[in-house]
Amino acid sequence: MTSLTFYGGVGEVGGNKIMVEDKGTKIMLDFGIAFNTGEDYWINWLQPRSAKPLKDRFEFGMLPKIKGLYRKDLLEGTGLKYVKPQIDGVFITHAHFDHVGYLEFIDPEIPVFLGEGTKLITDIVQEQGRTNYGEHRFNTFRTGKKIKIDSMEIEPVHVDHSIPAAYGYIIHTSEGVVAYTGDLRMHGVRSDMTNDFINKAKEAEPAAMVSEGTRIGSERRTNHTEKEVKTKSCEIASKTRKLVITTFYPRDIDRLRTFYQVAKDSKRKFVVSLKAAHLLSRLKEDKRLSVPDVTSDPDILVYLRPKSRYYKWEQPFLDNAVDCNYVHKNQSRLILNLGLMQFAELIDIRPDKGSHFIHSMSEPFSEEDIEDEVMHNWLNHFGLNFHQLHASGHCSGAEIIKNIQTIKPKKVFPVHTENPEMFKELVKGVKVECPEVGKRYGV
């Protein structure tokens, strides 16, 4: 029997961990960190112990107890005995933590399949010391390559998302095709790639489809396109002589390119962080990503925060970097990319009252969001005008439903959503199975 077992992404946004089994062959689709699972026990200063990472996560259901999946050196005291790998491959859709973040715990003998761009991004993240994905047998691909593992053939097809090198999968099994969307959107700069996936999936006539549903039931949020973010941001920057500050997700390359162009169009220079500079310099290795050259482009400057020492990857950008004094003296000529965790720099920069802050990230889910409240405390303290301008990395609810009904699978499993039951109300003509954690479903 061909089956699907869902170990994450069930009734929650993120944390996708899905096993596909066919004639004894087993593969995992993604292996990511959940945003909500375990949040009742771990918060900020209280985190799972580094010496017992699996034991602590097993205790609160943050990771599934699956034989033949994990590293031998991490299993002591967990109650799960080590056996040789029983998983034939892990297939990663993209480099966001909620899809790849737990890769470090997987047995290094299990091959990991991921896009060439995704591998490059995970390498960059590791160089910056943000996480460790571990040593693995990495196998990279691009759209058009098919991977044969025993009775299964896995076909990656590119999609548009808020990070480069995102893919969906069309999985050919002995009992029919399984289509897995990963995360995707229709309103970004490369909607044509998402359409490629939809068309390929439709042609395959899938027996089952695993669909993300992030924005099902959350349509109260404003949905801008990337083009609208650019247009509205340019209006703000062009009509003021004061500093413009923006914050966005650090690996959202489309957004980085957007604000780079906004700076050029408004006759300003774009000031990026050391991490962004390093990311851009490494991504230049992949010419298909078309990113500006931070080492030679006169429209890009690198912001230097004073530290006692700088990492090796930061050092190439130090000589030509600018500091808080430069930003303060040239406010009308700059757009500054400043992450929320670097807000203390505002104390030294001292932006003029009435300067502008463009929040180009998701709006908070709750009106009681503490981080959102703290952010606005800072903005009010420095008299900054707030603007919410964000293009989501995910399809709207209506687009998700339209995609499912275009592809026409025999059944659909909603994941990566807090509202899976709503699929039953919205999807017409396709059977909806709302998965339960750890339950095995036939295709």
Does residue 378 share a domain with residue 241? yes
What pLDDT does 248 receive? 95
Angle at 308 between CA 306 and CA 313, to 5 degrees: 80
Q: Which residues contact 344 (CB under 8 A, 6 or more apart)?
A: none
Please indicate, yes or no, whether residues 81 and 213 belong to a single structural domain of this protein: yes
Question: 327 with 422, same domain?
Answer: no
Q: Hunting for tokens 């924005």 — which residue is that?
A: 215
Q: Clarify whether residues 110 and 87 are in a common domain.
A: yes
CB contact set of 308 (below 8 Å; sequence gap of 6+): none
- Does one domain contain both 369 and 318? yes
pLDDT in tens, the chain (443 residues): 899 999 999 999 999 999 999 999 999 999 999 887 777 898 878 999 999 999 999 999 999 999 999 999 999 999 999 999 999 999 999 999 999 999 999 999 999 999 999 999 999 999 998 788 999 999 999 999 999 999 999 999 999 999 999 999 999 999 999 999 999 999 998 999 999 999 999 999 999 999 999 999 865 556 789 999 999 999 999 999 999 999 999 889 999 999 999 999 999 999 999 999 999 999 988 878 888 999 899 999 999 998 899 999 999 999 889 999 999 999 999 999 999 999 999 999 999 999 999 999 987 654 556 688 999 999 999 999 999 999 999 999 999 999 999 999 999 999 999 999 999 999 999 999 999 999 999 99
* Predicted pLDDT at 364: 63
Domain end, chosen from 349, 364, 388, is at 388
Tell me which of 388, 406, 424 is where a domain ends: 388
Residues 163 and 285 grouped into a single domain: no
CB atoms within 10 A of CB 354: 13
Domain encompassing residue 354: 226-388
DSSP state of 315: G
How many domains does the structure of the chain reveal? 2
Q: Same domain, yes or no, for 364 and 240?
A: yes
Same domain flag for 92 and 161: yes
DSSP-derived letter for residue 343 is: T
Let me know whether 231 and 214 are in one domain.
no
Q: Do 63 and 209 belong together in one domain?
A: yes
**Residue 24: how many other CB atoms lie within 10 Å:** 9
Query: Does one domain contain both 244 and 149?
Result: no
Report the half-sphere exposure of 54 (CA within 13 A, side-chain side). 23
pTM of the model: 0.93
8 A C-beta contact, residue 36 and residue 29: no
CATH number reported for the structural domain that contains residue 335 in this entry:
3.40.50.10710
Max Cα distance, the chain (Å):
68
Structural domain ending residue among the three candidates 388, 412, 429: 388
